[in-house]
Amino acid sequence: MSLTVDEVGSLSRLEDERQDYHSVLRSSGEDLLFLNLDWLSAWWSAFGEGLRPLILRVKENGRPVGYAPLTMHDRGRSHWTKAGFMGAGPSDRCGILAQDGRADVHDAIWEHLRERDDWDVMELRDMRQGGPTEQAVRRSFRQCEEACEMAPYIALNGSYDGYVASLSSKMRSTIGRGWRRLQDHGAAFKSMRTAGEVDEALRWLKELHDQRWQSSSCLSAPGMPQFIEDVTRRLVGRGVVFHAILTDSAPAAIAMGLEDEERYLYYLTGFGPELAQYSPGAVLLTRIIEECHGRGCKEVDMLRGAETYKYRFNAVDRPQVHLRAVNRGLMRRTQYSLREAPLV
């Protein structure tokens, strides 16, 4: 039976297919946290203004076997339309869903898009290198502009004590001395997963993140406060977790993470200035890694960005890919270099 591709009109209509969508997601080989409907719905509520949803569904024998959560953005009077992944930006990993990662389902989606004339350029960011989506895009769009970004991760093999022993002597000294000094100030490590704890942690995160980053805080970006508040409350008990170092019941450091049975994703952090000399951020991450060992996790995903501190924890690089393709037509290809900055 051949595959058919049709369009789901809106994210609210996709919500009506939640069971089918998540069934496909679980076997897709793509990210279970950044591509779940609660995450995408929170993203759409915060960042969807000015965008048009382009949500494609693939069926086989009347049964959904693939979904493509995309958006389209029209640049005002310039008549230039860009398509991309729903969730791009705050989502560190994007993609298309195909049951069991099926190549024919991916190819049906991209062939459908190739035949459409209502987009000019397609910018597809944060695909896992070697994943089903990235491979399918390369098959369908042979001439793409390409960029690569590292998303380091820490593999959790063996015991926590063995992991600490693998760190440099300087790093072991930093976290050991920092934890002792913080304990002198009454420090304790706390994990927060319940609704009440998450509400309190959200307040702490905003306060400490703003203290650390001030005007450059990502939480000051338009839409981000709404997104973080919405997505955390949607995911209470189903993937969101906060960890904090508390001194006299006040937070010295806090981290918002995402977790499933095998992974922990280190998403947002905040540190207070008062005890900065004791490296509360490094101490907090070490305690999180210890908890992850206890939970039997296979990795701590440090997500996008090659910041130096990640490698001090023995993180290793995992590439993710950004690809940008121009739709057919000589005029579009002529205009492309004038309308689009180089892909980074």
How many other CB atoms sit within 10 Å of the CB of residue 7?
13
Token output for 338: 């004038």
Q: Are 283 and 182 in contact (CB under 8 A)?
A: yes
DSSP structural state of residue 287? H
Q: Are strands 81-85 and 63-74 parallel, antiparallel or unpaired?
A: antiparallel
Q: Which residue has the tokens 């296979």?
A: 298
Instruction: Tell which residue, 202, 188, 298, has the closest CA to residue 248.
Output: 188
Token output for 198: 């998450």
Looking at domain 153-312, which of 1.20.140.10, 3.40.630.30, 3.60.150.10, 3.30.300.20 is its CATH number? 3.40.630.30
How far is CA 185 from each of CA 275, 283, 284, 314, rounded to the nearest angstrom?
9, 14, 15, 29
252 Cα distance to chain centroid = 25
pLDDT of residue 278: 94
Instruction: Tell which residue, 261, 255, 262, has the closest CA to residue 288.
Output: 255
335 Cα distance to chain centroid = 31
Residues above pLDDT 90, as percent of the chain:
88
- Alpha carbon distance 147, 93 (integer Å): 15
Tell whether the torsion through CA atoms of 237, 318, 299 and 216 is positive or negative.
negative
> Which H or E element spans position 69?
strand 63-74
How far is CA 165 from each of CA 74, 156, 178, 228, 260, rounded to the nearest angstrom?
53, 13, 17, 35, 26
pLDDT digits (tens, 9 = 90+) for 289-307: 999 999 999 999 999 999 9
Q: Are 267 and 257 in contact (CB under 8 A)?
A: yes
Using H for helix, E for strand and C for coil, what is the string for 120-183? CEEEEEEEECCCHHHHHHHHHCCCCEEEEEECCEEECCCCHHHHHHHCCHHHHHHHHHHHHHHH
Instruction: Tell which residue, 289, 10, 298, has the closest CA to residue 171.
Output: 289
**CATH code assigned to 4-150+320-339:** 3.40.630.30
Residues 6+ apart with CB under 8 A from 216: none
* Backbone phi and psi for residue 28, each to the nearest 5 degrees, phi listed first: -75, -20
pLDDT digits (tens, 9 = 90+) for 19-64: 999 999 999 999 999 999 999 999 999 999 999 999 999 999 999 9
pLDDT of residue 214: 56
Q: What is the pTM of this model?
A: 0.94
CATH 3.40.630.30 domain extents, the chain? 4-150+320-339, 153-312
pLDDT digits (tens, 9 = 90+) for 193-246: 999 999 999 999 988 877 766 544 677 788 999 999 999 999 999 999 999 999
pLDDT band at 249 (very low <50, low <70, confident <90, very high): confident
